[in-house]
Every structure is written in structure tokens, then in C-alpha cells.
Amino acid sequence: MSAPYDPQKAFMVSWDQIHRDSRALSWRLDGTEWRAIVAVTRGGLVPACILARELNLRVVDTIGLKSYSDQSQGSEVRLLKAPDAKLMGDGEGILIVDDLVDTGKTLEVARRMYPKAHFATVYAKPKGRPLVDTYITEVSQDTWIYFPWDTVPQYVKPLRGAD
């Protein structure tokens, strides 16, 4: 995948940071009686789990959406798994959570399906931000976010003194 991302603008998110930022998101969402929380898989699973705990939500479901990019045919989002239809209705009282909104194509599909749902992400980029009702941190469009579930800590040799 060739992306217009500057390696100098890599944003490394640790487990501690995603936990803190997800809890901060829960503080912004507190005060509303949500019927359920729906995680956009896969990235929304961790924030949704933290939000479900913080907001005392016991009804948790998922929506699986996959973006495909083909230079010859453009970009397409496919629904892989829908949440329970009886639960969802038009989305009223439902909190839909993802880790990040980038271009907004994935959330655009979910918003068409559930127009009355509340959409929340931990991080938002400018192109996708209009599709999100609540978020914590905005990052520039050319920043690549590395989430802790996509990385592993590894040894780095010291600058001096060790073999």
C-alpha cells in the first residue's frame, strides 16, 4: 500500500495511551443513556470494551466493515457482519465506536445504515471528522497512527557502549 504518509509524522499509541484516551472519550459520552454499544471491528473493539466498562453498558455488539482499495476501481466498503437488526433499528440510543476515523468511508456506510446512532472515535483526521459526533484527539491527515495491537516492542541497540 502506498500512502501519502510522512514517516516523521508517525503517531505511536501505547496500551496506556489508548486506555487513557478511551476513558477520556467515556467522560465526554457520560450523561446519555445508551441502549447498547457497537464496536466497528477490528480497531473499535478495544475502545468499545473500555467504554462499555466505564459507561456500564452490558449490551455489546459488533459491525464488521472492510475497506478495499483498487486503483482501477476506486475504493469500496463491504459489510462483513451486521449487528443484531432488532437491537439496532435506525440506531437511536446506540453508540457506535471505532479507534480512528481517517477518510470517513467506513463510517459513512455505517451512518447510512444507522442514521440516528451516535458515532464516537478516539482519534479523528480532518477528512473523516465531520462523520463523527464525538472524538478525543485530532491528528493531521498525513499522520500514520500505529496502535499497540499492530506493533510489538523490540530491542534497540544503545547509541554507545553495548554490543
Q: How far apart are CA 144 and CA 112, in angstroms?
A: 27
Does 99 qualify as catalytic in the annotation? yes
Instruction: Considering the candidates 61, 90, 99, 133, report the single residue annotated as catalytic.
Output: 99
* Rg of the chain over all Cα atoms, to the nearest angstrom: 17
Q: How far is the CA of 122 from the CAs of 25, 50, 92, 137, in angstroms? A: 7, 11, 21, 6
Instruction: Considering the candidates 6, 30, 90, 102, report the single residue annotated as catalytic.
Output: 102
Does 16 qualify as catalytic in the annotation? no
With a CB cutoff of 8 Å and minimum separation 6, the contacts of 36 are: 57, 59, 60, 61, 87, 93, 94, 95
Does 84 qualify as catalytic in the annotation? no
Instruction: Considering the candidates 90, 98, 133, 150, report the single residue annotated as catalytic.
Output: 98
- Which residues are part of the catalytic machinery? 98-99, 102
